[in-house]
Every structure is written in C-alpha cells, then in structure tokens.
C-alpha cells in the first residue's frame, strides 16, 4: 500500500515540469496575442495618419 502511494506521488511529481512549461507557453501565447491586438487596434483607430516629411 505504501509503495503504491509513493509511486503515484512520484508520477505526479514527474508531470509537474510539463505543466509548468505548458502554463508558461500559454502565457507567452496570450502575451503575443495581446500585443498583436494592440498593434492592429492602433492601425484601425487612426487610418488616415501617415508620416509626411
């Protein structure tokens, strides 16, 4: 019985780095998407503004 609990705990601990990497990747994708939305929103907000030198 004790061996079964220890192996289950070890199996869970082996998956922790995978979940950390998965969460990190999800946050990076969300950040990239948020920056993309901000960039495209600025272009739509000021369609007629261009630099004239």
pLDDT in tens, the chain (53 residues): 556 666 777 888 999 999 999 999 999 999 999 999 999 986 655 566 667 76
According to the model, what pLDDT value does residue 46 have?
Answer: 59
Q: Which domain holds residue 29?
A: 8-42
In a domain, 47, yes or no: no
According to the model, what pLDDT value does residue 7 have?
Answer: 73
In a domain, 18, yes or no: yes
In a domain, 28, yes or no: yes
In a domain, 1, yes or no: no
In a domain, 3, yes or no: no
According to the model, what pLDDT value does residue 31 have?
Answer: 98
Measured in whole angstroms, how far is the alpha carbon of residue 27 from the centre of its chain? 2
- Can you spell out the DSSP letters for the chain? -HHHHHHHHHHHHHHHHHHHHHHHHHHHHHHHHHHHHHHHHHHHH-TT-----
In a domain, 27, yes or no: yes
Domain count, the chain: 1
In a domain, 14, yes or no: yes
CA distances from 17 to 11, 14, 40 (A): 12, 7, 35
In a domain, 52, yes or no: no
């Amino acid at each position: 019985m004790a061996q079964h609990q220890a192996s289950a705990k070890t199996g869970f601990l082996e998956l922790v780095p995978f979940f950390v990497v998965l969460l990190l990747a999800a946050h990076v994708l969300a950040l990239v998407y948020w920056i993309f939305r901000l960039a495209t929103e600025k272009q739509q907000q000021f369609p007629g503004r261009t630099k004239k030198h």
